[in-house]
Homo-oligomer: A and B are copies of this chain.
Amino acid sequence: MSRARADRRADPRIKRSRQLILRAALQELGEAGYGAFTIESVAARAGVGKSTIYRHWRDKVVLIADAFEVAHQHAAPPVAGLTARQALERLLRHVAEVVTDPAFSAPIPALIEGAERDPQLREFRHRYSELRRQTLTSLISQGVADGEFRAPADPELAAQVLLGPIFYQRLLTSEPFDPDRTGALITMVLGNSPDQ
């Protein structure tokens, strides 16, 4: 009984199908967008039968949410042993690189569209953006305490001011934020190292 269940989950065919489908779904979101996303396109792209998708996901929305969830398993770069400013720069640069990379950032507009129409995606979007903002906020506070930054009126606002331009440029302009400007961005918002 319980062995049968375990077998069912362990069946490599299932794992393989899921992986292919989720990857294809993410690509499809990038190319077609949220509104034009279709199950049949995903099936074709994944080289999988349409029925296989319906066996694993009830809904188009559930599949999309799952695809984003898996995509955001990206590990943030390690920042142990760094000063607050170094850590902040490394994290922000990582964000800039991801948002700049066409492959990684292609599904972002679809996420924004989806979050506008579906509560589940809205919750996902909030969860992940909040996570990132909290990390930055505490790094900023730490840097202020360590005298590395000019003290901003509001660390949370500062975090948004750092993240904002990166996404703004990707979504509202024709040219994404250059990761090499990460340092200048931080300096503009939080000032130079103590000797300024």
A interface, CB within 8 angstroms of B: 32-37, 106, 109-110, 112-113, 116-117, 122, 125-126, 129-130, 133, 152-154, 157-158, 160-161, 163-169, 171-174, 177, 181, 184-185, 187-189
A112–B188 touching, CB < 8 Å: no
B residues in contact with A130, CB < 8 Å: 173
A169–B164 touching, CB < 8 Å: yes
B129, B160, B173, B184: the one contacting A153 at CB < 8 Å is B184
A169 to B, closest residue via Cβ? B160
A189 and B154 alpha carbons, distance in the complex (Å): 12
The main secondary structure of chain A at its interface with chain B is helix
A133 and B177 alpha carbons, distance in the complex (Å): 15
**A–B Cβ pairs within 8 angstroms, 7 of them:** A35-B35, A36-B36, A106-B116, A112-B172, A157-B184, A161-B161, A163-B165
Task: State how many angstroms separate the Cβ of A49 from the closest Cβ of chain B.
Answer: 24
A129 and B112 alpha carbons, distance in the complex (Å): 18
